[in-house]
Amino acid sequence: MTGLNLTMKRSKKRSFRRMMLDYPYLMSLMVCLFLLIVNGIFEPRSLGFEGLLGTLNSYLPLMIVAMGQTYVVFAGDIDLSVGSIISLVNVATVALIAYYGSGYDAIGIGILCGLGIGVACGFFNGICIAVFRFQPIVTTFATGVIFGGLALWIMPNSGMAVPEYYWDNYAGEVLGIPFVILILIFMALLITIIARHKFTLLLKAIGDDIQPAFQTGLPVVQTRIKGYMMCGLFAAISSLCLTGDTASGDPLLGVKTTLLSVAAVVLGGTALSGGSGSTIGSAVGALIIGLIGSVVFFAGISYEYQNLVQGLIVLLALAGGVMVSKR
Amino acid sequence: MPLLKVSNVSKSFGKVVALQNTAIKVEIGEVHILIGSNGCGKSTLCKIIAGSVRPDRGSIQINDQPVSFHSPIDAFQAGIGVFYQELSLSKLRTVGENIFLGNLPVNRLGLIDQKKLKQRATAIMKPFAEVVGADFHPGAIISDLREDQRQIVEILKTISTDAKILIFDEPTSSLDRKQVKVFFELIGRLRKQGKAIIFISHRLDEVFEIGDKITVMRDANTVAELKVADTDKDSIVHLMVGQKIEYQNNHQETLDSERKTVLDIQHLSGSNFDDVSFEMKRGEILGFGGLHGQGQSDILQTIFGVRPATNGKIVVKGQVAPKMSPHKAVDLGFAYISGDRVRQGIIQNRPIVENLSPVSLVKNRHLLFSRARMAEKSKPVLKQLNTLFSGFETSVNNLSGGNQQKIVISRWLIDNPEILLLDDPTKGIDLQAKADLFSMIRQLLKTGVSIILYSSEDEELLNNTDRVLVFHGGEITRELVGDERTEFNLYQAAFGDSAKLAL
């Protein structure tokens, strides 16, 4: 009897573990819904279309960086330079668009170069870490300072504006659908495809344990570099979105984003030690961070306490996640 | 013409010579057994063929073409598949993903074809379906599986590629008899398909069941190549032993039956060992022998409370010990010295006196730490071990490596332990420290300390113990007392030569 009971308990525990492995973002999704409801209680209008669109508008860039950060974390690495990549791509794009005369073609060139710069930054990180075996945290901290320095060199002061078509399109609609929603759908499709690609499995196998991955003959070095390049690409996309939102160049644009992206990845159920998790979770994690901010704001907590309360709630959400996954 | 030909390969790690002019030839359709005792270089040779270790000298030829591997990827592409003894699995991935990690079924875009992956996995797992249990399916996560199931995944992973040369480094250590049978049938089929197979085994029975040829290794050398049909178990054991050495009986006098039993282990089970019972008397030195990783360390760690016991009793001086923890074990008079930990145990850049103190601080709960008392107390032990140092307040980093190791060993001996558990203690320490440790051990025995010595160096084991328990697969296969303590008997029992166990 007890034996049977025990196996049942065990299989129940296994199926739960299994569910967390297959859908690591379930917990964060629930937390996210809960926060949405709380938000709605404090400010009913926030649950309307306009309110939701506003939230998405503000946090889409963070969602995208967090997705990119996830690929690096899958492999057990980390990228602390994403904030600086965002700043660098922003100022480079804005400056290039102005340089080429602010026409449609100039915008095209600017966007393509911006994406290229993001990928190049990621490539540089990847070479340092996967080929020269530098320690990821310190390396990307240092390259982050370099990229940020480059941004300041290109544009010492914030302010150069982008042409109207750029931000007008970003804030506008295509076929009656808001442009930010289109971007979200595009990104969702992109990460779903990548999740099924061999690339994701290789990253996770490397993050799980690098030695067996190496002994199995997997292209460990190339895959880690590709992870960083993917992260750089996503940071660049995020930067282009932010540019649409702020409509100007700012060499310190991404400063706050770096650690928020790491927090979003963890809140999304991805292990920092590598090997498991999901990009969707990171997007949800980014939304959680955003919603916590707005809950604190709508709850009418006075300004000087907002950061404190926000931090405490993030810690609580993390603790909840840890408790559930250790059950 | 051999498919794989390794000649004159040498490899040293620092001062340690792992391989010296080794050679092996493997033909198509041949199962080639590689056999030898601990540390003879089998695994290093395999890792060189697999591309994960680079040789200092020597050549590898496949089909008469010289090859040079810079990484496992090169070896993989040259058609070499490897079963790693420590397994090369991704623990959070599924069985199917692990088996085909090296050649995933993907479509044109590089997306994984989950359906095909599952089909292929089911097909390749089919022979094992009846001997592994229902929870073994393509979607199972590796970390949920038992050790034997994981080993089978590694086997399937090795044969899933179209490699021509397959290397199996102890593939059957956790498998039961039925599983081994299925695996050997599989090997038989691979042999017919014309694969060349290198098989490292720790079971002599298996050698004769599956092997075509045998290469025997001893002391970093390949000493003989034989046809299995032309030889027998005893000859192989003789080849592994080499020349015969007589061992002295140092401690015969300690074996008298009137001495008190200090430690009585009854039916103890835990991870990697099962139903182990033995007694130890005051002032006795008991040896644990056998091949590496047959449960010896696990037993010592379980007695010391590092790992939990799943069954059985530990009786210390007539009292049944409660659930053990290292802290309780220290209180009961145990000390545990592991060769693995000696180097790690050094507290870098701190004075010698602080490096001597950790165990003593656990055992005696003084409110304040008196450096003078600590220093005074440790003097006799340090002297016995011939430790050279200028003062208790000098940094431990000023000492030579051997003396640093003596400091770490001393910390366990300061408070007069009654039962000393030595877990392959000389693995990490230099020759001089080793000699001093054994002369100290002889002193301790005279004062009535009891010692269990597990050593992977057979000469050291036979030379320094009264009695040897030989382990194989987590069980005691033979007890060697007095004149029985020969390398031949030790190897025979260590390789699980079941015919002789009845003795």
CATH number at residue A233: 1.10.3470
What's the CA gap between B211 and B229, in Å, rounded? 9
What's the CA gap between B252 and B277, in Å, rounded? 22
Final residue before a domain boundary, out of B241, B269, B285: B241
Task: Judge if pTM exceeds 0.80.
Answer: no
A218/B112 Cβ within 8 A:
no
B73 at A interface, C-beta within 8 A: yes
Domain range enclosing A320: 25-41+55-326
CATH number at residue B78: 3.40.50.300
**Residues B294 and B178 occupy one common structural domain:** no
A15 at B interface, C-beta within 8 A: no
B91/A218 Cβ within 8 A:
no
What's the CA gap between B405 and B389, in Å, rounded? 12
Q: Which of A207-221, B98-112, B248-262 has the lowest mean pLDDT?
A: B248-262
A301 is a domain residue = yes
Closest partner CB to A198 (pick from B50, B75, B104) = B104
pLDDT at B331 exceeding the cut of 70: yes
Give tens-digit pLDDT for A95-144.
999 999 888 899 999 999 999 999 999 999 999 999 999 999 999 999 99
A195 at B interface, C-beta within 8 A: no
**Residues B73 and B182 occupy one common structural domain:** yes
A21 at B interface, C-beta within 8 A: yes
How close B159 gets to chain A, by Cα (Å)? 12
- Reported in sequence order, the residue ranges of B161-242 that DSSP labels E, i.e. its strands, are 165-169, 196-200, 213-218, 221-227
Average pLDDT rounded to a whole number, residues A21-40: 85
Domain range enclosing B21: 4-241
**Residues B229 and B336 occupy one common structural domain:** no
Number of domains in chain B: 2
Q: Which of A47-61, A251-265, A275-289, B333-347 has the lowest mean pLDDT?
A: B333-347
Q: Which residues of A touch B77 (CB under 8 A)?
A: 217
List, in order, residues 6 or more apart from A138 with CB less than 8 Å away.
none
**Residues B292 and B156 occupy one common structural domain:** no
A50 is a domain residue = no
A18 at B interface, C-beta within 8 A: yes
What's the CA gap between A31 and A29, in Å, rounded? 5
Query: What pLDDT does residue B400 have?
Result: 75
B246 is a domain residue = no
A214/B72 Cβ within 8 A:
yes
A199 at B interface, C-beta within 8 A: yes
Query: What pLDDT does residue B13 have?
Result: 80
> Which of B82, B94, B98, B101 should be substituted to probe chain A, the one whose Cβ sees the most A Cβ atoms within 10 Å?
B101
Closest partner CB to A216 (pick from B77, B91, B102) = B102
Copy the structure tokens of residue B170.
Answer: 């102890």
How close B166 gets to chain A, by Cα (Å)? 13
Cβ B351 vs Cβ B358: under 8 Å: no
Q: Where are the alpha helices (DSSP H) in B414-479?
A: 431-446, 458-464
- Reported in sequence order, the residue ranges of B297-406 that DSSP labels E, i.e. its strands, are 309-316, 319-320, 334-338
A4 is a domain residue = no
Q: What is the DSSP string of A54-74?
A: HHHHHHHHHHHHHHHHHHHHH
Give tens-digit pLDDT for B457-498.
788 888 888 889 999 888 898 898 888 888 888 888 888 765
**Residues B305 and B340 occupy one common structural domain:** yes
B54 is a domain residue = yes
Closest partner CB to B73 (pick from A193, A201, A217) = A217
**Residues B388 and B435 occupy one common structural domain:** yes
What's the CA gap between A277 and A283, in Å, rounded? 12
Give tens-digit pLDDT for B396-435.
888 877 788 888 889 998 888 999 999 888 776 666 777 7
**Residues B96 and B229 occupy one common structural domain:** yes
pLDDT at A327 exceeding the cut of 70: no
**Residues B338 and B281 occupy one common structural domain:** yes
Q: Provide φ and ψ at B36, rounded to 5°.
A: 170, 165
Number of domains in chain A: 1
Q: Provide φ and ψ at B312, rounded to 5°.
A: 95, 175
**Residues B378 and B485 occupy one common structural domain:** yes
B208 is a domain residue = yes
B301 is a domain residue = yes
Amino acid in position B125: M
Please give the mean pLDDT across all residues of chain A.
88
B123 pLDDT band, cuts 50/70/90, is very high
**Residues B126 and B272 occupy one common structural domain:** no
B244 pLDDT band, cuts 50/70/90, is low
Label residue B383 exposed, middle or buried (CB < 10 Å: 0-12, 13-18, 19+).
exposed
Average pLDDT rounded to a whole number, residues B168-178: 85
ipTM of the complex in this document: 0.84
- Give the count of beta carbons closer than 10 Å to the beta carbon of residue B343: 14
A218 at B interface, C-beta within 8 A: yes
Q: Which residues of B touch A14 (CB under 8 A)?
A: 144
Q: Which of B36-45, B105-114, B288-297 has the lowest mean pLDDT?
A: B36-45
Amino acid in position A240: L
Per the model's pLDDT, the better-predicted residue between B164 and A46 turns out to be B164
A312 is a domain residue = yes
A245 at B interface, C-beta within 8 A: no
pLDDT at A251 exceeding the cut of 60: yes
What's the CA gap between A141 and A79, in Å, rounded? 8
pLDDT at B167 exceeding the cut of 90: yes
B53 at A interface, C-beta within 8 A: no
Give tens-digit pLDDT for A64-95.
999 999 999 999 999 999 999 999 999 999 99
How close A178 gets to chain B, by Cα (Å)? 30
> Which of A20, A73, A201, A203 should be substituted to probe chain B, the one whose Cβ sees the most B Cβ atoms within 10 Å?
A201
A3 is a domain residue = no
**Residue among A308, A290, A306 at smallest CA distance from A32:** A290
* Maximum distance among all Cα pairs of chain B, rounded to whole angstroms: 79
